Structure 1
Amino acid sequence: MALVFRWLMRLAAGLVLLVVAGVGLVYFLASQSLPDYDRELTVSGVSAPVEIVRDNNDVPHIFGDSDADVFFGLGYAHAQDRLWQMTMLRRTAQGRLSEVFGARTLPIDRLLRRFDIYRLAMQSIDAQDAETRAALTAYAAGVNTRLQEINHRALGRGAPEMFLFNAPVAPWQPGDSLAIIKLMGLQLSGHLSNEVLRARTSLMLQDGDRLRDILPDAPGTGVAALPEYAALFPDLPRYAEGQRLPDSPLSPVPAPGLAGASNSFTAAPSRSASGGTLLANDPHLGFTAPAIWYLARMELATGGVIGGTIPGMPVILTGRSTGLGWGLTTAYVDDQDLFVEKLNPDNPEEYLTPDGYKPFESRPSIIEVKDEAPITLTLRWTENGPVLPGSTYDLETVTPPGHVMALGWTVLSPRDTSMSAAMGLMKAGSVTEAIASAERYIAPAQNLMLADQEQIALKTIGAVPRRDPRHQSKGRMPSQGWRAENRWQGRMPYASNPEFVNPRGGILGNTNNKILERPFPNHLSYIWGDTQRINRWQRLMQSRQVHTRDSFIEAQLDPVSFTARSLLPLIGADLWFTGEAAPDGTPERQRQIALTLLADWNGEMNEHLPEPLIYAAWLRALQDRLIRDDLGPLASEFIHVEPIFLERVFRDIDGASTWCDVKQSAAIETCSYMARLALDDALVWIAEHHGTALESLRWGDAHQATHDHQVLGEVPVLRYFVNIRQSTSGGDNTLLRGRTSGTGDHPFRNVHGAGYRGVYDFADPDSSVFIISTGQSGHFLSRHYDDLAQLWRRGEYIPMSLDAELARAAAVGVTRILPAQ
């Protein structure tokens, strides 16, 4: 027996040693791709020495004798830190994920091939100005220098993910950077899915007023009635089960309610305590690890520029120079239209146009699939745009038999000069120059916030489709593509885009809210990204005569929900202080505790408080109870609470209180009764998921920011090393926006928010600050993978200085790139 025991011990010890050796080998191989920031290399792609000084937060400060050399340095730095991210963005745009991940990403590749954005990006290269083409070429050379270095020096294939998903990495091309801009357009676009949802909801609801309740227009001048979708296509069923792309972290298609959002605001010298202009910006995108943003500084011939870049593109998208700051918010311009194309019953390769039947523009496209046979798609385009399959965006539910759906979209331009506009903006010296340079910008449409030393401005940039006043659906629902009045008629002139320069009040801002009202077809949109945050922003801005950098930071991080403050008195009007005493442990007692907590709450969505969770769960349950009997399974598509809907119902605007009555029951339910039932539903859900001790709840436990690795984030054990999870304040409708997922067992997880924050003070530009939500490095073994994450969570920032000596003083490394003789 002792002999057996000894051998078992030896075997166990041997297994332990093997495991340790295996882990050590994996660590050794993975660590080979950690970049060395303190070195010197000689290359043939630069004309003079280039210096990349990385400050103590790993922000590269890039210096060179020419702009081309500086862009080369940025490409090299991006590839050092974010090579895997860059290759994934490119593969996504190309529709080539399945070469690496197999059949599970085929739906994504199929859709991206049909959009054809990569080919359109390649065609757009010739449309750029000479300066931008030179920058793109130099940037690509910098990326490729890093690729060559990885290959020659065997640097662990460039990133740990390359070992698990081994695939050749092609040299970077100038068109790859243009494709990433178009991919960003897809991530920021929500009009397509909204058109489909509006059409499906129209089919379910007989009363047009009820459609305005559940899919309300932003407050302002009303809109003329639209035709019912059923009247346009009477053969469609009232409800059909839809199909979407499978949920995947790699999908660039935003989930419902998760298209782009942002905050940006600025103050003129008259409203600044220091006498200089102020500007703040925090663009919102889906959270990932690493963050989509990457901080960088470039010293160009026109001066230094510093701010947020997206790896793969050689521009500062939001940031500042010595005398100009710029920020971006998604403009929600209606730049997407769905066209129902009628097939020729005698020849399905033709579709109806105003001039009769015409053949589709068709070509094959082959998708290589790992471990499987390749797939051949037939890509078809009409005069209105690419034909999309019914299996995406629930299109089959609103496509009549004998028809297909085509998409018109400004992103699908083969002469897209958005990169040239971004390059010009980065080199502009004043508000006036910046507005002029942005005329070349096409898509995705943005609100450009500007501040120079003396002026402030907001300008909507991007192509706005010109529509016929007789358009059947005003671009709000799919329309008949063969009717001339439904087709686009070019684009509106840039001068007609909204522009606000030096307003008398001295304050400008945008939270994706409606910025003006124009009658169709001169409007911008009927759908806006915010009707709530703007109210809190107005209060914070007008509560002070003058502002400072710190007051702008305070507004950027404000967690108070205007929505909670305005809705709770409405929905709980008949519930507070009206119940009788109830014993502990009963539902009545839990309801009383919840109402008492909410009665004393100021609406602050603080991560440490229980009230935000009770409030959020209550409103979620309430909306579901109100719409479920009217919309049936379609109610599951409304995953986020619509505050205007609840306000319309509880104020009985245009008879909206009818939503409170359950049609399947004999009784007539009141809104107060439904509010009480919904509160009980919410408390049951909370008890099942977070416990019954309401006073001990923490909003942050439910509202965790999920910076998950797109590929490794679901791998057992490894996910604990690559995912960054943090308790956070804020919510769907706070300036400190943390958009919730709205689905699954964790509907309040924070999945979409400010991956970048910046506040620029032109009285003392080097006192400006910025931050990103993870770290600079995409390598999970690097200390810079998540070193900025806790600062971001706590609402802290790092210096945004153009002082070269300050960067050198605490540099983590200096890379010198020398030209080969």
Structure 2
Amino acid sequence: MSPREELVRHGLNLAALPSRWAHADHGSLRLAGMLRGAAVRRDGRGVPWVDADNERDLYFAAGFAQAQDRLWQMDVLRRRARGRLSEVFGAATVQEDVRARKLALTRVARRSEELLGAEHRAALAAFSAGVNAAADRMRRRGGLPVEFLLLRYRPARWTPLDSILIVKYLGFDLAVNIKNEVFRSRLAAEHPEYRAAFTEPRYPADGPVTVRSRRPRTRSGAAPVPPPAIGSLPRESRRWLDGLLDGEHPIGSNAWAVSASRTASGHPLLANDPHVPFTQPSLWYQMGLHLTGEDGEGAFGYGVTVPGVAGLIAGANRQLAWGITNSTVDTQDVCVLPPSPAETWQEESTVGVRGGAAVPVRAAGGARYVAMDPPTAGDEERYGLFWSGFEPSTEVACCQLMWRAGGPGEFREVLRGFGVPVLNVVLACQDGTVSVKTAGHVPARVPGSGRAPAEQEQVAASWHGFLDFDDLPEDADPERGYVVSANHKMLPDDDPVDVGADWVAPYRAERIEELITTAPEITPEACGRWQGDLANGRAAKLLPTLLAALADDPPAEPLAAACHRLLADWDGHDHGQLAAPLVFFRLLQKLTDRWVRDRLGPDLAAAMPDVTLQVDHLVTTADARAGLGEPDPLPVVVRRALTEAAAWIADEQGTEPERWRYDLTHRISDRHALAKAVPALGSLFGGVTTPSGGSGHSVCLMTPDRTGTVVEGAPWRFVAELRPDGPRLWDVLRHGSSGHPRSPHYDDQTPLHAAGRLYPVRLEGPRREAARLLTLRPRGGATA
């Protein structure tokens, strides 16, 4: 390190110290806005447990704790939802802001706020007051998070609307069907010769489903319709979506619940590891809540939320534990608007751009849809987006209620308030109940609709109403003794309810079921190990076919022959120290290049959402390859692809296969956003590069980008055993509770996360004698 670099490093570290010093985690503070006071106990990981005897003080203290740990992250999340990133980051984020403004989420957030009961509005107001109290205190001491100093701005006051908006935007992130529709539209226009090959969903006919039994439908539906034949989207409409259509969406989460009949202890178990992009700090935030009752005990809850959201999104209380996965049901439709659509609302706004000219934005739409960008000159078509999230809903209230639910019936009723995101909620209860329930607004879809953009009138037929909560997929206490949700297909083909046709590959779900059904007795420790299971389900499906092809036409080139031997000897587990997982990964990439990228071009190929299932279908189905126009037999294709893959790996790791390792390429390299944008800030924000096993098709989901860098996985892992005397809990969060780079809890949980281990957690939180205790009292004149 040069003297100048050393000087910069010291300067950055000094700049960050005031925000660390301003973080109050012990002692006593007097703050305006409290009724009777609260306490914040922090355990050895810095995780806060909030104690109060009334909801107002409970949520005030929760907001105070979150803001102390994650204020800058909270500000970025709300700016993203409001379309105000460019005020801070300049021209680089203008298009993202324009998209957010056109979604008009502030409009639906205001309507959602009006639906909240008085107690939930009061809770959000108290949470906001707590956030602002923490921000004010840090500002007075010159100790706002260092990101505000580096970017030279101060945060605006937090409002209840900010919390609602964050949830709405997260819901939009998880609603991904628009990718499938727009890809099919582009395929029809740009490469119609490949429509037959790549238009149909390729979920395996024998693949598992989340809810297996056929159920009577209580709502009559319209007759099925054939998929529409719509041409290309105008270039301007495509530009509106560019930031969303980035190819196969690496969505993934695992949750399972096992009944007492299958566990070693005779008590139900739940495991959940919700997957999100790896970031520093994580999107998840661990928190404990304790609302004292008249009996001195009251309600306890522990789990995770998203910074800026009051309550818990997943976790446990004394009676139950619940986990979440993205349901991936179809909640979006793109439509062709008529020349003069009957827009019922419009909004004009301006995106402020730091260092540049402001950008005017017009948002408009009708019932449950928004209009896209106007077409280019001479283009007569306009497009709109239907999305269930444009209907107001009260999921923020659900986050305040789930952790206090007293049993499965009460918990299920709470889920009725969910609109977005549409989730599968997996439940295990002290009384023995295990279940999975879809919660959220799902259009009462015309069967067969939603595959590609269609005329507005045709699309609107699916949007006259939403499925009744009781018609949404549900499986409670099945005879098999377990439920599994891993983003796979929701319902059998013959189910009368249509919730979509596009699903991610079923490999994680298949493996979880295999682990559950072959274990003689299941323990919490086993569930924790399974969250790190490295069996590659895609390899289990494809490797026999690939090896048979290579046996028919073995490669003669030495490196390719060595790769052949590595694959032949491989057990199909993605161990980081092995070379075979890397060979399999690069081989499938080369097959994908030949069948998809080389035919469609890199731009359209990168936008294919279901590329895994499409390529797997080509590997295993001769007719599919013939339909694509593949001139060579599979053995020739695989041999050539393996030869190219071997050369690729040799360029990366040298020409000695015995030295190759998967985890030299397959690594988690998440960094703080500012460190990514300005590498010189790496000395301040740090971040570790973690060699990793697993893959996009193992229970230990570690989804890589094209280079092999892991971009998505499970920052938080959680296991709960529901015992009569109270739950036993374990969890871990990559990085840690704090967003302050100089905090000891900025990255303290990463080693255990990397090792695949979990911390034991007391639902009641750390004992007072073992905790750092901060007491918050109503202010009577003193200054905090």
TM over 0.5: yes
Structure 1: which amino acid aligns with 2:573?
E
The aligned residue for residue 151 of structure 2 is 165
User: Are the counterparts in 2 of residues 468 and 521 from structure 1 also a CA contact under 8 Å?
Assistant: no
- Aligned 8 A contact 2:237 2:383 in 1: no
Question: Secondary structure of the residue that 1:735 maps to in structure 2?
Answer: coil
Q: How does 1:591-610 map to 2 (within 5 A)?
A: 591-610=560-579
Q: Please state whether the residue corresponding to 2:91 is helix, strand or coil.
A: helix
Residues 456 and 110 (structure 1 numbering): CA distance in 2 closer, same or farther, change over 3 Å? same
Offset from partner CA, 1:568-609 (integer Å, 9 cap, x none): 1102313138648x6xxxxx1111111111111111111111
Residue 33 (str. 1) matches residue 19 (str. 2): yes
- Candidates 619, 624, 629, aligned match of 1:656: 624
Asked whether 1:368 is paired with 2:352, we answer yes
Give deviations 1:634-682, integer Å, cap 9, x for gaps: 55326788444344324336x21216754xxxxx411111111111111
Between the aligned partners of 2:37 and 2:559, the Cα distance in structure 1 is 70
In structure 1, the partner of 2:443 is 465
Superposition pairs of residues 319-334 of structure 1, within 5 angstroms = 319-334=315-330
Equivalent residues of 2:74, 2:308 under 8 A apart: yes
Q: Secondary structure at the match of 2:675?
A: coil
- Separation of aligned partners in 2, 1:205 and 1:407: 24
| Partner SS state of residue 669, structure 2 | strand
From 248, 263, 266, the equivalent of 1:272 is: 263
Q: Is the 8 A contact 1:575 1:672 kept in 2?
A: yes
After TM superposition, list the pairs within 5 Å mapping 1:476-487 onto structure 2. Answer: 476-483=451-458, 486-487=461-462
Residue aligned with 2:365, SS:
strand
Give 1:530 shift.
3.3
**Which amino acid letter does the alignment assign opposite residue 461 of structure 1?**
A
Q: 1:513 aligns with which of 481, 488, 503?
A: 488
Distance 1:434 1:359, change over 3 A: closer
Question: 2:710 matched to 1:732?
Answer: no
Tell me whether 1:687 sits opposite 2:653 in the alignment.
no
Listed as ranges, the matches of 1:210-609 within 5 Å are 210-211=197-198, 215-219=201-205, 231-233=229-231, 243=239, 253=244, 255-258=246-249, 260-301=251-292, 302-343=298-339, 350-351=340-341, 358=342, 361-389=345-373, 401-413=379-391, 415-453=392-430, 454-469=432-447, 474-483=449-458, 486-518=461-493, 522-576=497-551, 579=554, 588-609=557-578
Query: Does the CA-based 8 Å contact 2:39-2:776 persist in structure 1?
Result: yes
Q: CA deviation at 1:388?
A: 2.0
Q: Distance in 2 between matches of 1:612 and 1:74?
A: 44
The answer as to whether partners of 1:218 and 1:527 remain within 8 angstroms in 2 is: no
Give, in angstroms, the shift of residue 154 of structure 1: 2.3
Cα distance in 2, alignment partners of residues 485 and 778 from structure 1: 44
Which residue of the partner structure matches residue 11 of structure 1? none
Q: Is contact 1:52-1:63 (8 Å) kept? A: yes
Partner deviation per Cα, 1:749-796 (whole Å, 9 max, x = no partner) = 110110111000113745310111111110112121111111111111
Once the two structures are superposed, residues 115-171 of structure 1 have per-residue CA deviations (whole angstroms, 9 ceiling, x without a partner) of 01123212311211222112111111110110111222222xx11111111223111
Q: CA deviation at 1:290?
A: 0.4
Aligned residue runs from structure 1 range 718-757, under 5 A: 718-722=681-685, 723-742=687-706, 746=707, 748-757=708-717
Tell me, yes or no, if the aligned pair for 2:553 and 2:635 is still in contact at 8 Å.
Answer: no
1:255–1:300 distance in 2 versus 1, CA, 3 Å: farther
Query: Aligned partner of 1:740: which letter?
Result: P
Judging changes above 3 Å, is the alpha-carbon distance between structure 1 residues 749 and 313 closer, same or farther for their aligned structure 2 residues?
A: same
Q: Separation in 1 of the partners of 2:590 and 2:374?
A: 31
Return the alpha-carbon distance in structure 2 between the equivalents of residues 70 and 570 of structure 1: 58
Counterpart CA distance in 2 for 1:95 and 1:114 is 9
Q: Which moved more, 1:118-127 or 1:717-726?
A: 717-726
Report the residue type matching 1:815 in the other structure: L
Q: Is the CA contact 1:661–1:670 (under 8 Å) kept in the aligned structure 2?
A: no
Query: For residues 333-364 of structure 1, what are the alpha-carbon distances to aligned partners after superposition, in whole Å with 9 as ceiling and x for unaligned?
Result: 11111111122xxxxxx32xxxxxx3563331
Structure 2 partner of 1:346: none
What is the match of residue 707 of structure 1? 670
From 750, 767, 776, the equivalent of 1:817 is 776
Identify the structure with bigger relative contact order (alpha carbons < 8 Å, sequence gap 6+).
2
Asked if residue 777 in structure 1 is aligned to residue 738 in structure 2, the reply is yes
1:478 shift after superposition: 0.7
TM-score by length of 1: 0.87
Deviation at 1:208, TM superposition (A): 5.8
Distance in structure 2 (CA, Å) of the matches to 1:400 and 1:225: 35
Q: Counterpart in 2 of 1:347?
A: none
Q: 1:189 to 1:608 in 2, by over 3 A?
A: same
Say which SS state the counterpart of residue 590 (structure 1) adopts. Answer: helix
Question: How far does residue 423 in structure 1 lie from its aligned partner after superposition?
Answer: 2.1
Greater shift in the superposed pair: 608-617 or 189-198: 189-198
**Greater C-alpha Rg:** 1
| Partner-residue secondary structure (3-state), 1:567 | helix
Equivalents in 2 of 1:539, 1:160: separation in Å? 48
Q: Which residue of structure 2 aligns with residue 77 of structure 1?
A: 65
Alignment CA distance shift 1:133-1:530 (3 Å): farther
Distance 1:621 1:808 in 2: 57
Unaligned 5+ segments in structure 1 are 1-14, 248-252, 344-349, 352-357, 583-587, 663-667
Partner residue of 1:717? 680
In the TM superposition, what is the alpha-carbon distance from 1:715 to its structure 2 partner? 1.4
Q: Which residue in 2 is equivalent to 1:672?
A: 635
Secondary structure of residue in 1 paired with 2:338: strand
CA distance in 2, matches of 1:19, 1:363: 48
Amino acid at match of 1:714: A
C-alpha contact 2:268 2:434 (8 A) present in aligned 1: yes
User: Are the equivalent residues in 2 in contact too, given 1:188–1:259 (CA < 8 A)?
Assistant: no
Instruction: Indicate if the aligned counterparts of 1:267 and 1:278 stay in contact, CA closer than 8 A.
Output: yes
- CA separation of 1:226/1:650 partners in 2, compared to 1, >3 Å: closer, same or farther? farther
Question: What secondary structure is seen at the aligned counterpart in 2 of 1:282?
Answer: strand
- Contiguous gaps of at least 5 residues in structure 2: 210-222, 293-297
Instruction: Give the AA of the match of 1:645.
Output: Q
CA shift in 2, pair 1:176/1:521, >3 Å: farther
1:285-316, Cα deviation, whole Å (9 max, x unpaired): 11110001111101024511001111100111
Residue 614 of structure 2 aligns to which amino acid in structure 1? F
Q: CA deviation at 1:25?
A: 4.7
* Counterpart Cα distance in 1 of 2:459 and 2:6: 70
Aligned length: 754
How much does 1:691 deviate? Answer: 1.8
The answer to whether the 8 A contact 1:190-1:259 is kept is no
Q: Which amino acid is the alignment partner of residue 539 of structure 1?
A: E
Q: Determine helix, strand or coil for the equivalent of 2:69.
A: helix
Contact persistence 1:289–1:774 (CA under 8 A): yes
Cα separation, partners in 2 of 1:90 and 1:485, compared to 1, 3 Å: closer
User: For 2:610 and 2:337, how far apart are their aligned partners in 1?
Assistant: 34
Q: Distance in 2 between matches of 1:376 and 1:58?
A: 44
The 3-state SS of whatever aligns with 1:296 is strand
Rate the CA distance shift 1:623–1:371 in 2: closer, same or farther, 3 A: closer
Question: Take 1:82 and 1:671, find their aligned partners in 2: how far apart are those partners?
Answer: 52
- In the other structure, the counterpart of 1:121 is 109
Verify the 8 A CA contact 1:52 1:60 in the aligned structure 2.
Answer: yes
Q: How has the CA–CA distance of structure 1 residues 522 and 175 changed in structure 2, closer, same or farther, with 3 Å as cutoff?
A: same
Contact 2:504 2:610 survives alignment (8 Å): no
SS at match of 1:434: helix
What is the CA–CA distance in structure 2 between the aligned matches of 1:378 and 1:139, rounded to whole Å?
A: 32
Q: CA RMSD in A?
A: 2.8
Task: Provide the secondary structure at the position in 2 that maps to 1:52.
Answer: strand
In the alignment, which residue of structure 2 is the partner of 1:645? Answer: 614
Kindly provide the amino acid, as one letter, of the partner of residue 796 in structure 1.
Answer: R
Question: Is this contact kept in 2: 1:511–1:534, CA < 8 A?
Answer: yes
